[in-house]
Amino acid sequence: MTHTQPIGFIDSGVGGLTVVKEAIKQLPNESILYLGDTARCPYGPRPAEQVIDYTWQMTRFLLEKNIKMLVIACNTATAVALDEIKAALSIPVIGVILPGSRAAVKATSNHRIGVIGTAGTIKSHSYERALKAKSPQTTVISLACPKFVPIVESNQYHSSVAKKIVSETLRPLKNKKLDTVILGCTHYPLLKHMIQNELGSTIRLIDSGAETVGEVSTLLDYFDIAQQSDQDVIPTHEFYTTGSPKIFDEIANDWLDLPNISSNHIDLGGK
Amino acid sequence: MTHTQPIGFIDSGVGGLTVVKEAIKQLPNESILYLGDTARCPYGPRPAEQVIDYTWQMTRFLLEKNIKMLVIACNTATAVALDEIKAALSIPVIGVILPGSRAAVKATSNHRIGVIGTAGTIKSHSYERALKAKSPQTTVISLACPKFVPIVESNQYHSSVAKKIVSETLRPLKNKKLDTVILGCTHYPLLKHMIQNELGSTIRLIDSGAETVGEVSTLLDYFDIAQQSDQDVIPTHEFYTTGSPKIFDEIANDWLDLPNISSNHIDLGGK
């Protein structure tokens, strides 16, 4: 493994770009390879076995491109596939659930934490288990928000329709005396302002993806595979999608502060 | 390795207690074993070979007590012995220099970072290398503060003598347009108020030890060796010193919020 190899990021679609945005900011020396399985998004409603299968397909694609670390930048995939993939690979593999849980336990004062995510993530109880293991007195209130990912993937996350859906979906979390809510899906930071507006400015929102980059940074150092700035390598950012590069690029250009993102379409063995 | 084993912390004296304080706060489920080599403190002026030798002696003592992770909670020892000990052990080994450097690079706005530490740490250029590798445009101004550790170890860190020494020692850092200063010695947080007063309230002080606990937490999760709160184990905290338990306990009781710390005296094969 050399320091100059890229870090791989995978997601069901464009959500993992919120993690990449943080990575570019916190780790400007690192090259990045991103793959979004846009064609089969959302993963949230799919059976666990299928999500595991798809996640492996994405992982294999990036392994062939010689990544030095894999970030499963998708909560649904992390919930069901992280342990298996981490155990099987020789490179470090990082998910988004534990970093978000650690940050939430640190942030809460009243030990009442909300978790919003896809149906798959919420059904897995992964956040609940992680939060309770760290802090047994925590009350966790979870809510599946199945409409959020499609809003983002269709590039409607600035729309008034989005605002209405966010408002209606989050109603069950109101008056629950939460002081912290985990954005347990990497698509959700694109709706962060609407979510914050709806839940109120005093609620601390935890961006599980952004927290994950802190872990990426720690592990790059721990395994001594960080790209050193004196190595004189210009970092590259490559994007792949199984769906339409056009919509992917529109969202990526809107969200990331990079010049002219142009993603590549690939196929991942059908289904 | 089981989740219930303790985490080991070593330091030249009482400085590592500042790391333990954070660990108790952030990781309340974990059992802790601490060893301070008070009899041979300070390490700062000693030759690197001797510090490596002493650090190995402390490491062996804790390994026999079956720790699951080793934290070298001493910057001087981290600078010269971390790589060798980490490569030799099968448990995770963590130092305090990289976490402090990561936090400083994240905190600075004007890319002018000060580092204060022992003569050994400053001479090793470890912080300078780590900071430059992460952010080449950073200007690093380093200052050895050889009088700080003896003030702390002699339990005079609240005294007016301490205030005078801090003031005189830090003079060369004034008017250097620094916005961030790394407390590159785990003893220094005990002098933090005086240091902050002297450098001014706008300077961001980075507590390398406190930052290290974030890395401990990340790696406990990554290697799946965190003590789970549902395992019904009451965490224990044991303290060992090669010096006088009396002074050690006075400082520990003043600094840590634990009832009646009573450390054990041990010998580490002379010198």
Q: Is B74 a catalytic residue?
A: yes
* Per-residue pLDDT reduced to its tens digit, A35-62: 999 999 999 999 999 999 999 999 999 9
Q: Which of A89, A180, A75, A91 is nearest to A135 (CA)?
A: A180
pLDDT score at B269: 72
Report the range of poorest mean pLDDT among A230-239, B16-25, B159-168. Answer: A230-239
Give the span between the Cα atoms of B221 and B214, in whole angstroms: 11
In this model, does residue B217 exceed pLDDT 90?
yes
Q: Is A74 a catalytic residue?
A: yes
Q: Which of B208, B238, B266 is nearest to B15 (CA)?
A: B208
- What number of other Cβ atoms are within 10 A of residue A60's Cβ? 11
pLDDT score at B229: 76
Task: Work out the average pLDDT over A141-163.
Answer: 94
In this model, does residue A170 exceed pLDDT 70?
yes
Order of strands across the sheet that contains B7-11: B93-94, B69-72, B7-11, B32-36, B237-241, B264-265
Give residues with Cβ within 8 angstroms of A232, minimum separation 6.
none
Q: Which parts of B45-146 fold into alpha helices (H)? A: 48-64, 75-88, 97-107, 119-124, 126-134
Q: Which parts of chain A fold into alpha helices (H)? A: 17-26, 48-64, 75-88, 97-107, 119-124, 126-134, 148-153, 160-170, 192-199, 208-222, 245-255
pLDDT score at A233: 76
The 3-class secondary structure across B151-211, one letter per residue, is HHHCCCCCCHHHHHHHHHHHHHHCCCCCCEEEECCCCHHHHHHHHHHHHCCCCEEEEHHHH
A-B interface: how many C-beta pairs under 8 angstroms? 52
From the list B7, B74, B79, B151, the catalytic residue is: B74
- Put simply, whether B129 touches A (Cβ < 8 Å) is no
From the list A74, A96, A103, A162, the catalytic residue is: A74
DSSP run (H or E) holding B22: helix B17-26
Q: Where in chain A is the domain with CATH 3.40.50.1860?
A: 7-95+210-265, 97-208
In this model, does residue A230 exceed pLDDT 70?
no
Task: Work out the average pLDDT over A251-268.
Answer: 89
Query: Binding site residues of A for substrate, as ranges?
Result: 11-12, 43-44, 75-76, 186-187
CATH topology of domain B97-208: Rossmann fold (3.40.50)
Question: Which residue bears the tokens 């935890």?
Answer: A206
pLDDT score at A257: 77
Q: Judge whether B121 is annotated as a binding position.
A: no
Q: Which of A115, A116, A57 is nearest to A81 (CA)?
A: A57
Give the span between the Cα atoms of B147 and B169, in whole angstroms: 8
Task: Work out the average pLDDT over B36-54.
Answer: 95
Give residues with Cβ within 8 angstroms of A265, minimum separation 6.
A240, A241, A242, A243, A244, A245
pLDDT score at A182: 97
* Per-residue pLDDT reduced to its tens digit, B76-113: 999 999 999 999 999 999 999 999 999 999 899 999 99
Give the span between the Cα atoms of B247 and B41, in whole angstroms: 13
Give the span between the Cα atoms of A115 and A103, in whole angstroms: 13
Q: How confident is the model at residue A270 (pLDDT cuts 50, 70, 90)?
A: low
Task: Work out the average pLDDT over B8-21.
Answer: 95
Q: Which of A39, A32, A6 is nearest to A17 (CA)?
A: A32
Task: Work out the average pLDDT over A251-267.
Answer: 89
Q: Which residue of A has its CA nearest to B229?
A: A133
Contact A222 B215 (CB under 8 A): yes
Smallest Cα distance from A216 to chain B, Å = 10
**Strand, helix or coil at B118?**
coil
> Could you tell me if B101 and B134 are in contact, meaning their C-beta atoms sit under 8 angstroms apart?
yes
**Strand, helix or coil at A83?**
helix
Task: Work out the average pLDDT over B178-207.
Answer: 96
Q: What is the total residue count of chain A?
A: 271
pLDDT score at B271: 47
pLDDT score at B270: 53
Phi, psi (rounded to 5 degrees) for A107: -80, -30
In this model, does residue A100 exceed pLDDT 90?
yes
Task: Work out the average pLDDT over A203-215.
Answer: 92
* Per-residue pLDDT reduced to its tens digit, B224-249: 999 987 667 789 999 999 999 999 99
Q: Measured between beta carbons, which residues in chain A are less than 8 angstroms from residue B136?
A: 229-230
Q: What percent of chain A has pLDDT over 70?
A: 98
Task: Work out the average pLDDT over B172-189.
Answer: 95
pLDDT score at A149: 94
Please give the CATH architecture assigned to the domain spanning A7-95+210-265: 3-Layer(aba) Sandwich (3.40)
Task: Work out the average pLDDT over A216-230.
Answer: 90
Interface test mutation site (partner B, options A211, A216, A229, A232, max chain B beta carbons within 10 A): A229
**Interface predicted TM-score of the whole assembly (ipTM), two decimals:** 0.86
Q: What percent of chain B has pLDDT over 70?
A: 98
Report the range of poorest mean pLDDT among A130-144, A213-227, B131-145, B252-266. Answer: B252-266
A 12-41: CB under 8 A from B: 26, 29
pLDDT score at A212: 95
Contact B102 A217 (CB under 8 A): yes
In this model, does residue A271 exceed pLDDT 50?
no
Contact B229 A106 (CB under 8 A): no
pLDDT score at B2: 78
Contact B217 A99 (CB under 8 A): no
pLDDT score at B230: 65
| Token reading at B17 | 């207690």
From the list A185, A191, A216, A256, the catalytic residue is: A185
